[in-house]
Amino acid sequence: MTLGFIGLGHMGFPMAARLLRDGHELTVFDTRPEALEQAVELGARAASSARDVADRAETVLASLPSVAASVEVATGERGVIGGRRIRRYIDLSTIGAGAAADLAGQLAERGIAMLDAPVSGGVGGAQQGTLAIMVSGPRDEFRTATTILQTLGNPIFIGTKPGAGQTMKLVNNLMSAATLAATAEVMVMGVKAGLDPTVMIEALNAGSGATHASRDKFPRAVLPRTFDFGFATGLMVKDVRLYLQEALDAGAPAELAQAVVRCWETTLDREGPESDFTSIVRPVEDAAGVIVDGRGSS
């Protein structure tokens, strides 16, 4: 099966690299020429636009940073919708159920099947091929794409309703965003009260307060003050806002989600969209006048 990949960023590049390593012929496109060059060095063929990818490949995957980019790449003037060869389009980005359903409808009119397949597991999961991939769309298309998706991780079929995979991914990310925000707040509180942050993380991880934030994000990117986990604050703000909108649209309570969105918007204002999402601790530290610094701990 001829494959294409659009969007070679933090997530897309290592995913494309895995597909190449697996022996697939891959045509790629990114608006950043340097990303394209790096992929070509690994054996990919460069295309000049999303449509050019879809002229050459039957199955096209994409990992893009915003709803606007996903819309442009799927249905824009030089989007995959105008491609001659494409049969199925797999969007691995987080764009929300409404946008995914809309794109699926437009692509279906041109005979292109869409799977929305947002992923979880971060850059490490993309490199190691251990992503959780939450897929929705036509079941036969899911079956056809399963082997490819297994190169990237563990595909889980969420349902045939377009956008269902997106809803599941937003649920996952609200949990992830909320626990990171909560861990930031309690760690700052403990340090302010005189506790050692490294000991705090050890105790949390031995107790019922352990989360992915305490097990992985804090030890790797906050305690050593590197803030380099690999997910941008701007992307997390996108995701929590999408969750809140979907919750409100569905008529589901969202008091916690509203507080979580406020925490992330403060981080966005103070640290900027390109900052690593582990920077969420910084505005809390500033407000308390302490730093969650594990470098001096034994």
Catalogue the active-site residues.
169
Q: Which stretch binds ligand NAD (CB under 6 A): 40-48, 59-67, 140-148, 175-183?
A: 59-67
Write out the DSSP string of 198-243.
HHHHHHHHHSTT--HIIIIIIIIIITTS---SS-BHHHHHHHHHHH
Element (H, E) at 172: helix 164-192
- Spatial separation of the C-alpha atoms in residues 202 and 53, rounded to whole Å: 48
Here's the x/- map for ligand NAD, 101-120, by CB under 6 A: it reads as ------------------xx
Q: Does 163 bind ligand NAD (CB under 6 A)?
A: no
Q: CA-CA distances (angstroms) from residue 285 to 57, 178, 203?
A: 49, 17, 20
Q: Are strands 113-116 and 88-91 parallel, antiparallel or unpaired?
A: parallel
Q: Does 129 bind ligand NAD (CB under 6 A)?
A: no
Q: Does 123 bind ligand NAD (CB under 6 A)?
A: yes
Q: Which stretch binds ligand NAD (CB under 6 A): 184-192, 195-203, 227-235, 281-289?
A: 227-235
Closest CB to ligand NAD among residues 77, 286? 77
Nearest distance from residue 111's CB to ligand NAD, in Å? 22
Q: Which stretch binds ligand NAD (CB under 6 A): 67-75, 190-198, 261-269, 283-291?
A: 67-75
- Spatial separation of the C-alpha atoms in residues 123 and 287, rounded to whole Å: 30
Residues 68-97 that bind ligand NAD (CB under 6 A): 69, 72-73, 93-94
Q: Does 32 bind ligand NAD (CB under 6 A)?
A: yes
Read off the tokens for 32.
Answer: 């950043």
Q: Does 63 bind ligand NAD (CB under 6 A)?
A: yes
CB 120, CB 152: distance < 8 Å:
no
- Spatial separation of the C-alpha atoms in residues 14 and 17, rounded to whole Å: 5
Q: What is the 3-state secondary structure (H, E, C) of 41-87?
A: HCCCEECCCHHHHHHHCCEEEECCCCHHHHHHHHHCCCCHHHCCCCC
Nearest distance from residue 274's CB to ligand NAD, in Å? 9
**Of the candidates 3, 6, 26, 201, which one interacts with ligand NAD according to CB under 6 A?**
6
Nearest distance from residue 298's CB to ligand NAD, in Å? 31
**Of the candidates 17, 19, 20, 35, which one interacts with ligand NAD according to CB under 6 A?**
35
- Spatial separation of the C-alpha atoms in residues 90 and 6, rounded to whole Å: 10
Contacts with ligand NAD, residue ranges (CB under 6 A): 6-12, 29-32, 35, 50, 63-65, 69, 72-73, 93-94, 119-120, 122-123, 230-231, 235, 239
